[in-house]
Amino acid sequence: MRVLSYETLKFYCNKGLIPNVKRDTNGRRYFDEYDVRWIKDLTCLKKCDMSIQEMREYLELCLKGKESIEERKMILEKKKTALEKEIRERKESIAYVNCSILR
């Protein structure tokens, strides 16, 4: 996993994307295993081109628990379809570039 910068973690916390952030006696944030798993999920969602608002909505659904599983699956399926389309378009671009190089 890519290491996130302090600024990125702070940004995610301030945007409400990491629920129930804990602080030590000096006021510094600390993260348990659950938080680390969620931060990894956020990193993946960001790579899937989810906006902050989309990530926030997804988090709210996650916090609802099992009752929101189907809705979360639909969101992820929609993102998957968009990513697959982008991959196809990128492959077409690569093919064009390769063809142009070989001319």
In terms of residue numbers, what domain contains 40? 6-102
Three-state secondary-structure class, residue 28: coil
Output the pTM of the full model. 0.79
- Domain annotation covers residue 85: yes
- Domain annotation covers residue 1: no
User: How far is residue 96's CA from residue 69's CA, in Å, rounded to a whole number?
Assistant: 41
- CATH of residue 31's domain is 1.10.1660.10
pLDDT in tens, the chain (103 residues): 567 888 999 999 999 999 989 999 999 999 999 999 999 999 999 999 999 999 999 999 999 999 999 999 999 999 999 999 999 999 999 999 999 998 8
- Domain annotation covers residue 43: yes
Three-state secondary-structure class, residue 22: strand
Number of domains in the chain: 1
- Domain annotation covers residue 18: yes
Please give the pLDDT value at position 28.
Answer: 92
